């Protein structure tokens, strides 16, 4: 296959080939990540004149009717998409998912209190460390460190402490390419908190099982700068009141309008993405489409003795084991081949494939907006590269 065969007709031309100024690559970045073409085109229009206001979306005031309407519509669309009942609040915060690492314990734990963490990768390690640094005593209910974070634990492996303030887990491990395909079972009455940064709205979510779910936008939800928090009102109200106002969840839940200037462009992109998912058929349709895409890549990897996927193929889930449907992480036989693969892939039109420094190798992130055709083309590239270099 010639490199040019890997280019989609709508995204012609890697930069080192003759191409039009509009040339685009398949974006397999772990985040900030790919947008659907139709959403990008809508943004292009709205940058100039947002829905007849005569102002671009970046210029409108957060105290005006256009933003009020945008905010209300975004919240309503999220409720519709994920079936969020009225006793949960939908908040738009800043500081990324990383800030939630200290905001959750700060709000929900008494000074020095304990929460349980299911440590399945880099980001959940960070959650534990940040909780400790904020002055609390996190307990690891599980750690996958000894097995290089290749696998997701079964419920029977979780060892909870006696009275944790909450249990925290990361539903998709962006760096190691593992994912929970079920919600972990936690002790009766203990609140469950989830970092869903890299798989939010990639499949249906049963929000009633959670007290708080957070996800910064830059993977499945929109552009970086805003963090979506969905939290049970009763949980929010139980939070501490003796911490600064802007660190309390209730400040964001209660205010009629946002408590300070919000990242309104980012919220606007979340609005477009949520409506795009609704137009695709909602979360069930997204789940089916994401499974199909991931299947194409894992089948190609499994058919080869050359590529070595990082995540365990076996595990608590009968179909996927511990494998992520969002981030497909694998290695080649040598680091030199890893490098060559990433370089040649870019020339063939597939960008941002280098694995995180913690794993090395290759990471193909195929979030909601990544097209199925891109997976098919990339699977062909895998076969072709192996034929030429194995
Ligand atoms: C699972 C997960 N949690 C947390 C983060 C940190 O997010 P942010 O950079 O928005 O703070 C990331 C970033 O990639 C992530 O993948």
**In contact, 65 and 50? CB cutoff 8 Å:** no
Res. 331: pLDDT tops 50: yes
**In contact, 321 and 312? CB cutoff 8 Å:** yes
pLDDT for the residue 22: 72
Locate the ligand 1 atom nearest the alpha carbon of residue 227 and give its number: 10
- Average pLDDT score over the chain: 94
**In contact, 202 and 287? CB cutoff 8 Å:** yes
> What is the Å distance from ligand 1's center to 129 Cα?
14
Indicate the pLDDT class of residue 214, thresholds 50, 70 and 90: very high
Whole-number Å distance between alpha carbons of 190 and 167: 7
Tokens for 361? 């190798």
> What is the Å distance from ligand 1's center to 5 Cα?
34
Name which residue sits closest to atom 10 of ligand 1, judged by CA: 96
Whole-number Å distance between alpha carbons of 122 and 133: 16
> What is the Å distance from ligand 1's center to 96 Cα?
7
Active site residue 206: no
Cβ of 218: how many Cβ atoms within 10 Å? Answer: 24
Span of 16-20, 39-43, 323-327 with lowest mean pLDDT: 16-20
pLDDT for the residue 14: 45
Whole-number Å distance between alpha carbons of 259 and 92: 11
Question: Of 46, 116, 130, 219, which residue is the catalytic one?
Answer: 219
Locate the ligand 1 atom nearest the alpha carbon of residue 218 and give its number: 10
Locate the ligand 1 atom nearest the alpha carbon of residue 100 and give its number: 11
pLDDT for the residue 18: 42
Shortest CA distance to 1 belongs to which of 387, 390, 294? 387
Tell me the per-residue pLDDT of 349-366, one tens digit each, with 9 for 90 and over. Answer: 999 999 998 889 999 999
Q: Which residues have any ligand 1 atom within 6 Å of their CB?
A: 31, 96-98, 123, 170, 174, 195, 197-198, 216
Locate the ligand 1 atom nearest the alpha carbon of residue 121 and give its number: 1
Question: Of 46, 116, 130, 195, which residue is the catalytic one?
Answer: 195
pLDDT for the residue 19: 56
Question: Of 123, 211, 320, 351, which residue is the catalytic one?
Answer: 123
> What is the Å distance from ligand 1's center to 9 Cα?
32
> What is the Å distance from ligand 1's center to 341 Cα?
26
Mutate which of 102, 117, 121, 197 for ligand 1 pocket (most atoms within 8 A of beta carbon): 197
Active site residue 373: no
Active site residue 293: no
Indicate the pLDDT class of residue 256, thresholds 50, 70 and 90: low
Res. 8: pLDDT tops 50: no
Whole-number Å distance between alpha carbons of 83 and 98: 26
pLDDT for the residue 3: 36
β-pairing, 350-351 vs 327-331, is unpaired
Whole-number Å distance between alpha carbons of 253 and 318: 39
Tell me the per-residue pLDDT of 48-69, one tens digit each, with 9 for 90 and over. Answer: 999 999 999 999 999 999 999 9
* pLDDT above 70 as % of the chain: 94
Can you give the three-state secondary structure of the chain, one letter per residue? Answer: CCHHHHCCCCCCCCCCCCCCCCCCCEECCCCCCCCCHHHHHHHHHHHHCCCCCCCCHHHCCCCCHHHHHHHHHHHHHHHHHHCCCCCEEEEEECCHHHHHHHHHHHHHCCCCCCCEEEECCHHHHHHHHHHHHCCCCCEEEEECHHHCCCCCCCHHHCCCCCCCCCEEEECEECCCCEECCCCCCCCCCCCEEEECCCCCCCCCCCHHHCCEEEEECCCCCCCCCCEEEEEEHHHHHHCCCCCCHHHCHHHHHHCCCCCCCCCHHHHHHHHHHHHHHHHHCHHHHHHHHHHHHHHHHHHHHHCCCCCEECCCCCCCECCCECECCCEEEEECCCHHHHHHHHHHHHHCCEECCECCCCCCCEEEECCCCCCHHHHHHHHHHHHHHHHHHC
pLDDT for the residue 20: 67
Locate the ligand 1 atom nearest the alpha carbon of residue 196 and give its number: 1
Tokens for 139? 């307990």
């Amino acid at each position: 296959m010639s490199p040019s065969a890997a280019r989609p007709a709508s995204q012609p031309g890697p930069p080192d080939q003759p191409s039009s100024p509009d040339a685009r690559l398949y974006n397999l970045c772990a985040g900030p990540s790919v947008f659907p073409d139709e959403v990008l085109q809508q943004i292009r229009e709205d940058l100039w004149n947002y829905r007849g206001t005569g102002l671009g979306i970046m210029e409108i005031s957060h105290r005006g009717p256009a933003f009020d309407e945008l905010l209300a519509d975004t919240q309503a669309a999220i409720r519709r998409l994920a079936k969020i009942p009225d006793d949960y609040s939908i908040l738009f915060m800043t500081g990324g998912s990383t800030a939630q690492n200290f905001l959750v314990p700060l709000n929900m734990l008494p000074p020095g209190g304990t929460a349980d963490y299911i440590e399945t990768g880099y980001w959940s390690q960070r959650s534990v460390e940040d909780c400790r640094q904020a002055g609390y005593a996190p307990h690891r209910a599980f750690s996958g460190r000894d097995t290089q974070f290749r696998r997701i634990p079964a419920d029977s492996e979780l060892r909870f402490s006696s009275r944790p303030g909450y249990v925290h887990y990361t539903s998709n491990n962006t760096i190691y390419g593992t994912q929970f395909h079920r919600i972990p079972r936690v002790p009766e009455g203990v609140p469950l908190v989830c970092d869903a940064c890299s798989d939010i709205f990639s499949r249906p979510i049963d929000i009633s099982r959670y007290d708080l779910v957070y996800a910064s936008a830059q993977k499945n939800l929109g552009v970086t700068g805003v963090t979506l928090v969905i939290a049970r009102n009763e949980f929010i109200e139980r939070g501490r009141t003796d911490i600064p106002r802007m660190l309390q969840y209730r400040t964001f839940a209660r205010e009629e309008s946002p408590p300070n200037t919000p990242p309104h462009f980012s919220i606007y992109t979340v609005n477009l993405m949520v409506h795009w998912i609704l137009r695709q058929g909602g979360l069930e349709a997204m789940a089916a489409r994401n499974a199909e895409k991931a299947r194409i890549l894992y089948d190609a990897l499994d058919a080869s003795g050359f590529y070595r996927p990082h995540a365990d193929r076996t595990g608590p889930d009968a179909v996927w084991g511990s494998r992520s449907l969002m981030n497909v992480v694998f290695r080649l036989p040598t680091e030199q081949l890893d490098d060559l693969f990433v370089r040649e892939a870019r020339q063939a039109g597939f960008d941002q494939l280098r694995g995180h420094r913690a794993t090395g190798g290759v990471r193909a992130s195929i979030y909601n907006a990544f097209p199925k055709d891109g997976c098919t083309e990339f699977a062909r590239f895998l076969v072709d590269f192996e034929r030429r270099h194995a």
